[in-house]
A = this chain, B = another copy of it.
Amino acid sequence: MHIAVLGTGMVGEAIATRLLEVGHTVVMGSRSATNEKAAAWVEKAGTGASQGAFADAIAAAELIMLATKGETGIEAIGTAPATSVVGKTIIDISNPLDFSQGMPPTLSTVNDDSFGEKLQRAFPDAHVVKTLNTMWCGLMVNPTMLAGGEHTVFMSGNDADAKTQARGILTQFGWPEDSILDLGDITTARGTEMLLPLWLRIYGALGIGAFNIRVVKP
């Protein structure tokens, strides 16, 4: 599949690199067609990797993975013509973290709304699936490096086919079927985005980011 990864940060790079590894072609999208970090990644990643401005990356892609900072993803996707995202799945890995008041960050959207819902409202003809946003990027793409993958990745979204697509990618990344927990529609993204403040405190207590939570049930 040809996939656009939007965002050139640590998360975007980890996702893009892993997508290539499991057999996809990837265009890394950023504000400009000549972004230096994207260019460096393309050179390092080799065959199957390319870069482009957000709009071009989106237009060319069959599926979009959003790894931009904070709430900038709406603006990023908004640079593409609305027709570019019709019927496409947008896997939203981003979190509405607000660092403007210092550390630890707060959430810029919280409690009675979520960034995942805002994204779905902004692009009603796309199918947003919120997933992978609750952990360090190393675990997103290589879950079996921790406890054989026996920890939990959540999923929220309104469209069953889009969730099946997202589940397919999670499976390619190494997520065991039993570790994927479908929470329901996109409003359940409120729950996973609101895990971030706890994630940050656990990170502070443990001093490592390579942990995850597991839902333990009877």
Contacts and interface: CB of A to CB of B under 8 A. Distances in A.
A107 interface: yes
A190 interface: yes
Interface string A196-207: 011111101110
Q: Which of A101, A194, A195 has the largest count of B CB atoms less than 10 A from its CB?
A: A194
A208 B201 contact: no
Contacts of A201: 183-184, 188, 190-192
Given A101-B112, A195-B194, A195-B198, A205 B184 contact: yes
A217 B206 contact: yes
Nearest to A182: B205
A60 interface: no
A40 interface: no
A183 B211 contact: no
Given A191-B198, A197-B190, A197-B194, A211 B218 contact: yes
Contacts of A199: 191
A184 B204 CA distance: 8
Nearest to A204: B184
A158 B4 CA distance: 46
Contacts of A101: 112
Contacts of A107: 111
Given A112-B106, A214-B213, A194 B198 contact: yes
Interface in A160-179: none
Q: Closest 10 CB pairs between A and B?
A: A191-B198, A191-B201, A211-B217, A188-B201, A151-B216, A213-B213, A191-B197, A183-B201, A194-B194, A214-B214
A167 to B, nearest CB: 15
A215 B217 contact: no
A208 B218 contact: yes
A8 interface: no
Contact of A198 (B151, B182, B192): B192
